[in-house]
Amino acid sequence: MHTLKQQVERLFALGAEAGSDPTARAVFAEFRLALTRGHIRAASKDGDRWVTNVWVKQGILLGFRIGELAPVNEASGLSFIDKDTFPARNFSVEDKVRIVPGGSSIREGAYVAPGVICMPPMYINVGAYVDEATLVDSHALVGSCAQIGKRVHLSAAAQIGGVLEPINASPVIIEDDVLVGGNCGVYEGCIVRRRAVLGAGTILTRSTPLFDTVRGEIYRSTPEQPLIVPENAVVVPGSRAVTKGKAAEWGLSLYTPVIVKYRDEKTDRGIELEDLLR
């Protein structure tokens, strides 16, 4: 991939002139195919640390830069207008991805591993990486460059935000065996470590402190790293009182996520997915 990386970086450096380079379309097609097959990804794990592959994000942005608006017509009679560099992805039985009928869409340049189940309607954007045996439930979003591990359950209406720009910013990471409850939102490059559980309605952002009532810690993002949810943590929506100004006088409180326990056998029984679903 070293040669492809060099070609992408060269074309990205051309800025608005990249579209006039005669090699741009061919290079991008090779790049998009590598993304779709999972040979390259927007972030990769190095030991216990996630590293953003900046050149991959540059390649995705290059696709938007050189793409042209084109009609996308479907057999249903509906029509759409999008960049011709990012068409909707077509699947075959050989891909071993279960896509239930009902209005889901997955873009080319998104990797979806064998054993993934997609319940309608849901959307997986370019640059996303969805690993084996994950369930993407109805109305769920997997945003640009989001990295989803093995055996993850993204419940109904879960929103996994995309982080395409700035290009050096880490994308949202959901590690293996995580349960993301209904109507959860994970944004701005947050990392959810393996086997964590996000209770329904939990919202995580870079500016949101996470209160750990078990270990007596408060987790925050820093300029160098995003908010990180510890392994096995069970997080639920909570609140904290405002202690200053008019808000305190009025008795207001602000939302905050709270770790109330760490996974045990009882938790595992409560969130276990039936093998029959898969």
* Non-local CB neighbours of 92 within 8 Å, separated by 6+ positions: none
Instruction: Report pTM.
Output: 0.94
113 to 131, 149, 176: CA distances (angstroms): 5, 10, 13
Instruction: Give SS3 for 10.
Output: helix
Alpha-carbon separation of residue 27 from 6, 35, 62, 146, 261 (angstroms) = 10, 13, 10, 23, 49
pLDDT at residue 278, as a whole number: 57
Bond preceding residue 166 cis, omega within 30 of 0 = yes
The H or E element spanning position 237 is strand 233-241
- Please state, in angstroms and rounded to a whole number, the distance separating the CA atoms of residues 186 and 131: 18
Tokens 């939990």 found at: 202
Closest CA to 141 of 165, 95, 174: 174
Encode pLDDT of 214-264 as tens digits. 999 999 999 989 999 999 999 999 999 999 999 999 999 999 999 999 998
> pLDDT tens-digit profile of 4-52?
999 999 999 999 999 999 999 999 999 999 999 999 999 999 999 999 9
Q: What is the mean pLDDT of residues 92-101?
A: 97
Contact 156, 174 (CB under 8 A): no
